[in-house]
Structure formats: structure tokens, C-alpha cells
A and B are shown apart, each in its own frame.
Chain A
Amino acid sequence: MPVLSTKDGYEPKIIAYLCTWCSYTGADTAGIARLKYPANLRAVRVPCSGRVSPEIIMRTFDQGADGVLILACHIGECHYETGNHRTAKRFPILHSLMTFAGLEKERLRLDWVSASEGDRFSKIVNEFIATVKSLGPANWRVTSSDGIVVDRRMGVSGSDRVDRLLARVSQQRSPTSSQQQFVLNSHTANAEKSSAIQSVARQLLESGEVSLVIGYETGPRGRTRPAFINHPEDVDRLVWNQECTHNLATYLHGRLKTDAAAQSNQADEERSKRIAVVVKPCDSRAINVLTVENQIQRDQVHVIGVSCEGILEGSGFKSFADDQNSPYAFQSRCQSCQINKPVVFDTLIGEVSESRKIQVSADLISSQELWDLTPGERAEFWLSQFDRCIRCYACRQACPQCNCPTCLYERDDSLWVGMGTGLNEKRTFHLGRAYHLAGRCIGCDECEHVCPVGLPLSLLNQMLAQEVEKVFSHRAGYSMEASPIVSKLSGEERLP
């Protein structure tokens, strides 16, 4: 379709995903009635708006669209009954995500039409094109991998607000005086818990109830790391301290004999029938999510839940034993953690209180501070972060909920994102992964902790968790309830 050229030269490229049954027909109706809509709009006909996945929308912007419009049937009128429910539920989450990452919110729109509403179709389309045109070109797609980042480091287009935020990305990880309200456990307290964990492990292994206990140990360099104990005589390796950062639930999926596993490539003999795993309160939520998503069977896991007083920043990567008198900082997830009791457990270790006071340091960057920026500033912030990414996928590998046999973003045909390290690709990978975790992420922040270049992924996940709670009143893993975004299509669920 030829693009109309005008005096000012810029004509937005709009892609409209039109559902066959309503809006595509609506477009026809508009045409039959000789209602006008500009030729900027390129229509893509889909069998149902539910077909328009977030990957498609992100890809559309990646390829240079200035605006994306999705037109769906009214709720209750879907030809496939609940296809548009998917659209209704996923859209607000995707919209928040993309605007948080710097897309102007007017550029992505979802609206509802029926086949007979030619007028309405025409009105929406014209409105949308006018709005997108007034915003100018989208500039979402970065055409070279060092475009914006080089510019900002040369002080050309940077804003002070973004500069200050960028400086705080690394400062967040440093010790500050505002950490005083957190208390370091005494050696005795840690030793008591370690001992209790060892006892439970010994008993479980000796009785044959489990064939493997996954817990924590101290490595030769003094760093705390995951430990896999198969024999009762090795349980003395197990420790508990405030460096037990890893989310050990991530190991369950690959090691349990389940029906799904039996059909997979991996040798069945290497898998265990029953495993015990040491989890902190945050990690325990992952157990619930894995169970409700049928990735593990609850009765195959003996959950050793441990109460937690906070984990130190830098855990797993350095030894704190030599640093007794040095300043310390607690991880950002601990600062906003409300629970010190695991939500699910078979054995409970340590004293618990039902809730705890949230004590967030002023150094931590909050979602609100990012929302307070302009879209352009937000885009700059995120691109400068994703620039460091090397696509090692450690974030994905460390996450218990990322357990797809083949990651969507690693397909051989590069369908959704290329495999290289261009800025566009790295941003799409991280935003896409964050979207897939919306409603499922339990906020352990291990993705951020394992990142070799410190991408502040927790900011993305946190923001989405807040959105999901706002829109669906759902918080992942506190109960055996699956994420409402994809798992419920009954029509009885609460739609946004």
C-alpha cells in the first residue's frame, strides 16, 4: 500500500492487527460506506485477536513500526468464545512493560469493534493515526548497537535525571549507612540453623525418603554455593548463613522423574524420585508456582523451609568471612521482603514471624522513579543497561520458572529475535522474558544477581509484579494459583 507523502515528510507506519470476524469486516464496512481512513495503515488479518502475541507486537516495533493497533471483538462476542479474553488480559501487562521500557503509551492501542461498526472503526483508526503522527517517528528500533549509548557517554543527549539514575545502578550494590536496620546473624544463630538442616538431611537420606538433598555449602574460597548431597555422611557440608542467595528450586525441574521428563531426551536413570531442597521464604514461592504449573509434583519434593533475616549483597561471589568489619549491604529483594516464613514447607527451620517491616533503602531505584521520567529518558536508561548484556542467558538458567525445553528466544529460525548482541535484540530478549514471567516471577532476583554485568532486571520484574497485582489481584506463589494471564480462560475470571 503506498504511503501518502505530505509536506512535512513524516508519515507514520502503522500496523493494525485486525480480527477477521470483527474489525477486518469492520474495515470492509467502512470501505463500503466510503468512509475514509488514511493509507498509512497496513492491515494484518488474524483469525482472532488472541493470535496477536506479545512477541508479534514487540517484533512489529522492532521492525520499525511507529504505531501498533489491535482491534478485537467485544468481550462476549468472540467467535472462539474466549480468544479475546487472552487479548484483554495480556494487553495491559505488555503495554505497561513497553511503556516502562520507553515506548510512548499512545503508540500501542487495543480497542474493540464489531463487524457492523464501520463508523467506529473509521473513527478509531483516524484518531490513532493522528495521535501517532503527532508523536513523530517512534525511534524504538535502534539501528546500530552503539548509537544511543555512545551519544550519551559523550554527553550529547543525556539528561541529568538519567545520569543520576545510571550512577545509582552501581551504587545500589554498595554498602551504605541506611543498611543499619538490618542485623547480621551471629555465628551461633547460623550454626544452629546449619545443624538443624544437617539433621533433617541426615534423617531423610538415611531413611531413603529422598535420594538427594539440595542445600548450600561453603566452597574452598569461602563463597557460599549450592550443594548436592547424596549420602548421609556428607550432610556436614550443609550450611546456613546470610550468603545463601541461590534459588535452589531451579534445580528441581531437571532432576525429578516426572511424566514430562520420561518423554524428554534426558536419561531417566539420572533423575531422582524424591528430592529435598532447602528454600528461603522467597524461594518457597517458586515451589508453589512449579507445582501449579505441573513442572514438579509436590509429593516428590520435601521442602526444607528456612526462616530468613536477609541475604547480603554480593553473596555467592565473595566471601564475607574475612570481611567481618567491612560495611555490608543487603540485597534489594530483602529490603522489600514482607515475609520471613516460607509459604510452603515440609520441615521448618528457624524462628519465624508472620510478617516483617519493609525497610527499603533510599538508594534503591524504584519503579516510580522510572515512571517519573519521560518515555525518551526511560528508553535511554534501559538501552544503556541492555548495552552491557552479553546474552549469556545466566538470568534465564538461574530462574526456576524459565524451564521451556527450547527457549522462544533461541529458536533456530530466529523467529522472534536474532541471536546476536545488537541492542534491539538484547532489549527484546529481556522484555520478552520479563513478560513471560509476569504473574509467575516470585522476585528472588537471582536473574540480577547472577548477571556478570549487573543488569537491573529486578526493576522490570518488580514493576510487572506490581501491575499484575493491580490488575488481577494476583501475587505469584503465595498460594497454589496459577498466573491468571495465561492459565485461565473460563470466562469467569476477572478481566481488566
Chain B
Amino acid sequence: MNYEGFCTRDALVNWLDDLAGQVSLVIPVNDSGFLLYRQVVSVADIAWLVGESGPSTEQMYPHRPVLAVKEMFFPSTEPLVKIKKKAQQVLLEETLPDKPQVVFGVTPCDARGVRIMDNIFIEDLPADAYYTRRRENVTMVGLACQEMGESCFCTSLGGALDDPSDMDIMLTEFEEGFLIQVVTEKGRSLLGKQKFYSDTSTLNLDQVTNRATHAAISPLIPIPDIEAMPRLFNHEIWDRLAESCLSCRICSYVCPTCRCFDLRDEMLPSENGYECYQRIRCWDSCSRDAYRRIAGGHTPRATEAERLRNRIFCKFNYSPRQYGLEGTVACTGCGRCIDACPVNIDITEILGCLAEVVNE
């Protein structure tokens, strides 16, 4: 690990507090008992997050918000173009996002999710203008996890609790404060604004207890091989796995890599005699029953089993084959879907069942 420097807890809090005064700073915040990414409004929010008694003491482990950081780049509702109509005249106004933001406290699994979405929204041409713009405007400062949650399985997918690879800056906690790594130029330019840290020459790095690397790692979950998956398509196991599915959308919405969206024009108040509309996109999910309904009413994937199968295949076979994903799959092992599913449909259980079938 190549550390740029280290800082004390207080110095970090001060730096973030200062930053919040200059730019929109978003961090995981305790909102009515739920950890959610919110814009910082007081230093107390920052102190709670990075304090000694922070999220983990309130069972908000590690510090993984209910929704993934994807909402900074792919928000739940995004205005695309404003439409104004008067008689036969039509005017279009592109509404691109342009707010610079910093998001602090990103977990490595979330950052990996962003990288996966980059493959879909930017690398796969044509690039999506809105996602690309947000990606330019937002700087990600990561915070390593100090423990693996009960439902976490990032290590099964090649992740690590202190993996800096997809961040702009990465912080890892140790006894004296936080170790700092600069990963990108964007991160460097954010840090460069104020020197709140010291270099590591005074530390004996071999003896530093990096909490992330000392955390207990959960047993590995079998991840199906892309080539093996087609055999599983017609298996009857999907009926059993999906029986209790309510076809809500929680799993897709909390997932760091799910990105299906719906598109519609909606009415705005009129302006100067023009009828105004906003074309928006918002989150959608392949697990809902009318997702693939076409004109005339025909609905492919009419059963929960077909939809669950599609979702698993999309993550572990279709997306990697369609977009490359740099050799990985469209799952970061964050465990949110496991925690949030109201009927305990568990992706690790599913993967375990699939592995058994493959090995038969």
C-alpha cells in the first residue's frame, strides 16, 4: 500500500467540516434509524460517522447505507430534457446536472459498483451524457470497513475491506487516526486544497494495525462460472427459489449495480403560454411483474421464477457478456439485497444452490 499520509480523527473532522462549507458534501447519515447518504448540514453528522462510537455501535454495520452510492451518479429520478409546446411549436432544453459534489465514506463494494456501472454507462458507447457528467462532478472519498457484516460477501468477488482501486481517495482507520491513499488526480486535487495530514515518515507502517486487514473475513460463497450458467436456465430450481417473492423492487433499488430505468414525460406548470413537460427517467426493476409488458398486454417473464432467474443471470452472465465488466460480474457482494428482502430471498443461498446443481 502506498500511503500519502495520515491524519488524526479531529483533523479529518475539521477538514470535512471545511469542505462542507465549500462544496456539497454527502456522507452516510443516521436518518430516523436508517443510514442514508445525505448532504451534510452539521459537523455533528461528520463526527458521528468517523467517531469512535460511530455507526457500528448502532448496528449500522459496517457503515453501509441502505442505498448504494450509485444514487450520486444515477439518481432515483433524473430530469433529461424540458419540453415546451405552444400550438405547433416545440422547444427542447437539455437539463444536464452540473453540481460539483464530494461523497465521503464510500465503502469499497459501493465503489466497485460504480466501476461496474461505468462500464455500462460510459465505456459502452454511446456514453450516457447524464451519468458521465455526474461522474466528472463527483469526487469519491472512501472509508475502509472495519468489519464484515453478517450478509457481506465482497471477498468472494475479489473485493477487500480496504480496497482503494475504484476510489479517488481512500481512508483506512488505524490506532492513531486514518491512513490516506491518493488514487486519482481528481482525488489529489481535492486533497491539495488544504494540508490536514502528515506524511508517513513518522510511522512504522509494519506495526500499524490497519483495522480493515485485521477484520474477520466471512467464508467464501461460490460464484458460478459464466460458462456454466446456461445449463441452469431450464432447471426447476427457480420455481422453488422464487416462490415467496413479492415482486417489490427493493433488491434492485438497493443494489450498487442494478440500473434498469423507466422513461416518461410528465407535466410541469405552464410558463408564458407554453405547455411544459419534463422528460424524466427513474429507477425500475426487472423483478416487477409488468416490467416487460408490451402493447397488447403480452407479458414475457410473467412468473416470479422467470424474473428471479433473469435477475441472477443478468448479474452473473448477461451483463458480463454484454459489457465485458473487466472480467468481473455485476454483483459486488455488498449484501444489501439480503438485508432488505422482506421474505429473505438470499442471493448467497441461491448461488449455493446453483453451485450444487452445477456440481451434480
Interface residues of A (CB under 8 A from B): 63-64, 146, 150, 153-154, 166, 169-171, 173, 219-221, 223-228, 246, 250-251, 265-267, 270, 316-317, 385, 388, 390-394, 396-398, 406, 412, 414, 418-422, 446, 449-450, 452-454
Contact = CB atoms under 8 A, between A and B. Distances in A.
B150 interface: yes
Interface string B283-299: 10000101000000111
Interface stretch (B2-10, B34-42, B133-141, B224-232): B34-42
A420 B282 contact: yes
A153 B32 contact: no
Contacts of A153: 38, 41-42
**A-B interface, 6 closest residue pairs, ranked by CB to CB distance from nearest:** A170-B33, A394-B248, A420-B77, A450-B342, A225-B344, A397-B246
B275 interface: no
Given A221-B150, A393-B249, A420 B346 contact: no
B342 A453 contact: no
Given A221-B151, A397-B247, A453-B36, 6 more contacts: A150-B39, A169-B33, A388-B32, A397-B246, A398-B248, A453-B31
12 contacts: A150-B41, A169-B32, A223-B344, A226-B244, A228-B244, A250-B246, A388-B31, A393-B248, A394-B246, A394-B249, A397-B248, A449-B342
Nearest to B282: A420
Interface in B132-163: 150-151
Nearest to A170: B33
B14 interface: no
B66 interface: yes
Given A221-B150, A398-B342, A449-B342, A265 B299 contact: yes
Contact of B33 (A173, A225, A226, A270): A173
A446 B302 CA distance: 25
Nearest to B250: A392
B254 interface: yes
B280 A225 contact: no
A453 B32 CA distance: 9
A228 B344 contact: no
Nearest to B151: A221
Contacts of B264: 412, 414, 418-419
B223 interface: no
Contacts of A446: 342
A230 to B, nearest CB: 9
Interface of B: 31-34, 36, 38-39, 41-42, 66-67, 76-77, 150-151, 240, 243-244, 246-250, 253-254, 262, 264, 266-267, 269, 280, 282-283, 288, 290, 297-299, 302-303, 338-340, 342-344, 346, 349
B246 A398 contact: yes
B93 to A, nearest CB: 18
Contacts of B338: 221
Given A170-B32, A414-B264, A453-B66, A228 B243 contact: yes
B297 to A, nearest CB: 6
Given A153-B41, A270-B303, A246 B32 contact: no
A223 B303 CA distance: 25
Task: Decide if the interface of chain B is mainly helix, strand, loop or mixed.
Answer: loop
A450 B244 CA distance: 14
Contact of A225 (B150, B244, B253, B267): B244
Contacts of B253: 390, 392, 452
A169 to B, nearest CB: 5
B248 A418 contact: no
A226 B283 CA distance: 27
Best-buried of A150, A169, A317, A446 by chain B (most CB within 10 Å): A317
A150 B39 CA distance: 9
Contacts of A422: 77
Contacts of B33: 169-171, 173, 454
B297 A390 contact: no
Nearest to A143: B269
Contact of A317 (B38, B247, B339): B339
Given A394-B246, A397-B246, A418-B266, A452 B344 contact: no
Contacts of B42: 153-154
Contacts of B297: 265
Best-buried of B243, B246, B299, B346 by chain A (most CB within 10 Å): B246
A460 to B, nearest CB: 16
A419 B249 contact: no
Nearest to A227: B244
Contacts of A419: 262, 264, 266, 280, 282
Contacts of B248: 392-394, 396-398, 450
A150 B76 CA distance: 18
Best-buried of A224, A227, A228, A385 by chain B (most CB within 10 Å): A228
Given A392-B249, A394-B246, A420 B32 contact: no
A63 B266 CA distance: 13
A421 B150 contact: no
Contacts of B262: 419
B349 A388 contact: no
Contact of B67 (A246, A317, A390, A398): A390
A286 B338 CA distance: 28
Contacts of A452: 34, 66, 250, 253-254, 340
B349 A220 contact: yes
B66 A64 contact: no
Contact of B344 (A154, A250, A316, A393): A316
A359 B344 CA distance: 30
Given A150-B39, A225-B244, A420-B280, A453 B343 contact: no
A421 B77 contact: yes
A223 B33 CA distance: 21
Contacts of A228: 240, 243-244
A406 B290 contact: yes
A394 B42 CA distance: 32
A386 to B, nearest CB: 12
A338 B167 CA distance: 54
Given A64-B269, A154-B41, A422-B77, A388 B34 contact: yes
B266 A390 contact: no
B261 to A, nearest CB: 10
A321 B281 CA distance: 43
Best-buried of A171, A391, A392 by chain B (most CB within 10 Å): A392
A316 B36 contact: no
A453 B266 CA distance: 26
B169 to A, nearest CB: 26
Contacts of A397: 246-248
Contacts of A388: 31-32, 34, 36
A486 B77 CA distance: 34
A370 to B, nearest CB: 15
Contacts of A267: 302-303
A196 to B, nearest CB: 22
Contacts of B38: 153
Contacts of B31: 388, 453
Nearest to A456: B32
Given A221-B150, A267-B303, A454 B34 contact: yes
B77 A394 contact: no
A146 B262 CA distance: 22
Contacts of B36: 388, 453
Best-buried of B41, B150, B248, B297 by chain A (most CB within 10 Å): B248
B29 to A, nearest CB: 9
A396 B246 CA distance: 9
